[in-house]
Amino acid sequence: MSDHFSGPRALSEPAADITDVYAFPAPDSPDHLVLVLDVFGKSGPSAVFSDAVIYRFRIRPVEIAAMGPDAAFAPSQNEFTFDCTFDVPSGRTDSGRPLQQGRCLTPNKRTISFRTDDENGGADGSVQVFAGQRSDPFFLDVRMIEKTAATRKLAFKPKGSDTLYGTNILAIVLKFEWRKVLEGGPLFAVVCETLAAGKRPVRIERVGRPEIKNVTLSWKQFDQINRDLEIRDLYNSEDAFDLKPDYFDVYRARMNANLAFHDGLDGKIDWPFDQHGDHPLTKLLLADFLVVDASKPFAEATYFEIERSMLERRTHVTPGGRWLNQDFMDFLYTLYVNGGNGPPINDGVDAPIAWSSKAFPYLAPPNPAKASAA
Amino acid sequence: MIALSEISIPAVCPALGPPALTDGAIAVLNLGAQIDGLEGHGTSAEAATLIDLLILRGLTLGRISDYERAAQLADRLVHDAAADAAAYMARARTRAVFHRFSEALDDLDHADRISPQDTPAKQERAAILQALGRYDEAMATYEDVADRGGQFEQAGALAGLWADRGETDTAQRLYLEGLRTYRGVSPFPLALLDFQLGTMWMRHDRLDQARTCFDAAIRRVPAYAAAQGHLAEVEADLGEPEAAIARLYPLAASSDDPDYAAQLARILGEMGRNNEASGWCLLAANRYDELTAAHPEAFADHAAEFWLGVGNDTPKGLRFAEFNLRVRKTPRAYDLLARALDAKTAEATAARCFGGQ
């Protein structure tokens, strides 16, 4: 749930509030790519998808445009989308949850129908779709993250408290043979969006990389230029593949400030700013899409490996992307604070309440109500 | 209660506009899912969100128990996070819901000392000033944050303020602007706006317009109890008591808010169905007694209306009307007291007449 509560406007429709996006080669089938979109963090048992929202997966082939300090991606203009929509609930599932019919419009304009919470989902040739409530695969200690920002000192305890322990999300899982469904590759950039349905769908939120809007952009106090500005709704409204120049410097300044704050948490500078006055990660992170190499075999802790290899002028060896249960906060704080030049930083939370499966639909079944209170 | 009904609105209710909105049944399911998911754990920010969600559910489903739960949580939040401005903001909201306006303003002062110039806190303060009838101060406070709030929120708030002041044209224009600028998919904000508009027209005896607006609110959120209740009242006044009764029965039977039982009793009584009316009247009377004992500021006005009407206890109605005026000196509070005094005079006259015979 790395992107939960990531902008005031998203709060008004919880079923449009994206919590996380994942992209990984299928552990159970090397020819398939899996994309996961989670919404509605901490959802109770009655949670359902909105019938007024389009849940969109956007995928573009991407090239590595530059290596070294100027590392950058060059996404293609060629785009493939999966759009999922849902009906008003009718009846109940076997578990007593509201039952919804859903549809997924694939890039080749075929429509796959499915019922929510059905673990087999819907399928059409090379595409399989699941949608329903599952256990949130993310884990972190939010209180200590907030304390770290408030005290300007790493506040993690050896044994932390998982803020998401026992909580559920609504997930949409796509599994497809990428060579049949997409063109180009094997490197793909993935962004997920929620849009208000209608003749001219309006973007409500977008997510590519984890913890960009929350940990990396939300803190205002370190930003000397726009200290009072809540930029996340603005950021959400932008096209991830085509950031408008109008506000780019606003995002850049906020990200530079917050990355510099994190870099200083261990009392030394591991990420000196470049000649343009930017943190070395700013440009890569503002390319806010998950990059996954669909040709590489599945692996678990692979987020940002492609980007790291680009910065270090070497060829990546993993699929990159993002697996469901990577210990992301440990990775993120280690990356931001010491760039891997120091000891790994542990946030004290090392596992979710339930590990994800290596078989479709991958995410663990939903936790029983009140498991979190225990 | 400080329901948006008290922040009234404007004239003609336009047809449902083009924005796609989440179905009202889904919205209510998901509101419950949010509340269930946030209960029992979380950060102070999530606790503040939970309090807001409980207030929203209390407002739309007519559940006083949700307001009471929100108030409990807010007290605990201030206890646990005394240095957090958001905690005082949350408690100010719950106190305003129960018409404890001066305490709510104290909380906002406290929040302001911790986090000055906070836009939501100023908006909250403006709403309370408006509820107190201090319209000029409310307007100045709204204008102070005009550039920092969302267009929809600003238009909706000002529409209510101008409606309270009786400036229906201005309120109507702002209402339409609110509809035009809404960018969300949740149906709640628009349903609340429709409801404000309907309430204003109801107060101006423009019953057809009121019906249109309450209908719109109910189409967006069918379970919107206050809109159903007000629509029933309008239907009864338009000579459709059977429709009103059918609408009120489920609300009166299920809600812990006695307003629906009181309305049902009144309409049944007017139809001469006195046996049925007396049962609902008794139910409402007992519940008003409980609520005015627990939350006197919040229910004084509604209790006064009840006792002056179908409750048939003018002295009790007068006491609550006087108390209500001490809580807030709004035009409606003065009107209510005037009605109570008239009723008392009428009773005294009648007593003299009977005494003279």
DSSP string, A35-83: EEEEESTT--TT----TTEEEEEEEEEEEEEE-GGG-EEEE-S--EEEE
- The model's pLDDT over B292-331, given as tens digits with 9 standing for 90+, comes to 999 999 899 999 999 999 999 999 999 999 999 998 888 8
Q: Do A40 and B30 touch (CB under 8 A)?
A: yes
Range of the domain at A30: 8-338
Nearest-CB residue to B30 (from A15, A41, A369): A15
Look at residue A362 and tell me if it is in a domain: no
In chain B, what percentage of residues exceed pLDDT 90?
A: 65
On the CB side of A48, how many CA atoms lie within 13 Å of its CA?
A: 30
Residue A74: Cβ within 10 Å count: 13
Contact predicate A196/B20, CB 8 Å = yes
Per-residue pLDDT at B119 = 82
Higher pLDDT, B356 or B205: B205
Nearest-CB residue to B184 (from A13, A167, A168): A13
Contact predicate A296/A24, CB 8 Å = no
- The model's pLDDT over B193-214, given as tens digits with 9 standing for 90+, comes to 899 889 999 988 999 999 999 9
Look at residue A148 and tell me if it is in a domain: yes
Question: CA dist A294 to A282, A291, A311, B177, Å?
Answer: 25, 9, 21, 48
Helix (H) or strand (E) holding B272: none
Question: CA dist B284 to A291, A326, A354, B67, Å?
Answer: 62, 57, 49, 19
Q: Do A198 and B19 touch (CB under 8 A)?
A: yes
Look at residue A165 and tell me if it is in a domain: yes
HEC sequence for A165-176: CCCEEEEEEEEE
- B11 has a pLDDT exceeding 90: no
Residues of B with Cβ-Cβ distance to A98 under 8 angstroms: 29
Range of the domain at B257: 250-357
Q: Is A169 on the interface with B (CB under 8 A)?
A: no
- B41 has a pLDDT exceeding 70: no
Residues of A with Cβ-Cβ distance to B34 under 8 angstroms: 14, 42-44, 47
Look at residue A320 and tell me if it is in a domain: yes
Residues of B with Cβ-Cβ distance to A5 under 8 angstroms: 45-46, 49
For chain B, what is the domain count? Answer: 1
- The model's pLDDT over A132-151, given as tens digits with 9 standing for 90+, comes to 999 999 999 999 999 999 99
With a CB cutoff of 8 Å and minimum separation 6, the contacts of A331 are A301, A303, A304
Look at residue A209 and tell me if it is in a domain: yes
Residues A224 and A256: their CA atoms lie apart, in Å, by 10
- The model's pLDDT over A168-203, given as tens digits with 9 standing for 90+, comes to 999 999 999 999 999 999 999 999 999 999 888 989
> Tokens 């994800």 sit at which residue?
A356
Mean pLDDT for chain A?
Answer: 92
- B7 has a pLDDT exceeding 50: no
**CA dihedral in degrees (B117, B118, B124, B125; nearest 10)?**
-20
Q: For the residues A336-357, what does the mean pLDDT come to? A: 95
Higher pLDDT, A17 or A217: A17
pLDDT-based confidence at residue B19 (cuts at 50, 70, 90): low
Look at residue B258 and tell me if it is in a domain: yes
Sheet containing strand A122-124, edge to edge, reads A18-25, A32-39, A168-177, A127-135, A122-124
pLDDT-based confidence at residue A93 (cuts at 50, 70, 90): confident
Look at residue A162 and tell me if it is in a domain: yes
Contact residues, B window 127-186, toward A, CB-based 8 Å cutoff: 150, 183-186
Q: Is A232 on the interface with B (CB under 8 A)?
A: no
Distance from CA of A301 to the nearest CA of B (A): 28
Look at residue A283 and tell me if it is in a domain: yes
Residues A335 and A342: their CA atoms lie apart, in Å, by 10
φ, ψ for residue A112 (rounded to 5)? -105, 125
Q: Which residues pair with A191 in a beta bridge?
A: A58
- A5 has a pLDDT exceeding 70: no
pLDDT-based confidence at residue B165 (cuts at 50, 70, 90): confident
What type of residue sits at position B276? E
Distance from CA of B90 to the nearest CA of A (A): 16
Look at residue A182 and tell me if it is in a domain: yes
Residues of B with Cβ-Cβ distance to A370 under 8 angstroms: 40
Per-residue pLDDT at B6 = 38
Q: Which residues pair with A171 in a beta bridge?
A: A38, A132
The verdict on whether omega for the bond into residue B19 sits within 30 degrees of 0, i.e. cis, is no
DSSP string, B216-257: HHHHH-TT-HHHHHHHHHHHHHTT-HHHHHHHHHHHHHH-S-
Contact predicate B122/B144, CB 8 Å = yes
The verdict on whether omega for the bond into residue A365 sits within 30 degrees of 0, i.e. cis, is no
Contact predicate B288/B306, CB 8 Å = yes
Contact predicate A6/A43, CB 8 Å = no
Q: What is the CATH number of the domain that holds B268?
A: 1.25.40
Nearest-CB residue to B40 (from A43, A197, A372): A372
Contact predicate A135/A168, CB 8 Å = yes
For chain A, what is the domain count? Answer: 1
Nearest CA in chain A to B19: A198
> Tokens 């209908």 sit at which residue?
B215
The end-to-end CA distance of chain B, in Å, is 44
Which of A318-332, B160-174, B264-278 shows the lowest per-residue confidence on average (mean pLDDT)? B160-174
Residues of B with Cβ-Cβ distance to A46 under 8 angstroms: 29-30, 32-33, 36
DSSP string, B65-125: HHHHHHHHHHHHHHHH-TT-HHHHHHHHHHHHHTT-HHHHHHHHHHHHHHSTT-HHHHHHH
What type of residue sits at position A175? K
ipTM, 2 dp: 0.91
Nearest-CB residue to A47 (from B25, B33, B40): B33
Per-residue pLDDT at B355 = 61
Look at residue B290 and tell me if it is in a domain: yes
Nearest-CB residue to B183 (from A46, A53, A202): A202
Q: Do A372 and B34 touch (CB under 8 A)?
A: no
Look at residue B254 and tell me if it is in a domain: yes
Closest CA to A211 of A149, A160, A265: A149
Distance from CA of A316 to the nearest CA of B (A): 39
Q: Which residues pair with A122 in a beta bridge?
A: A129
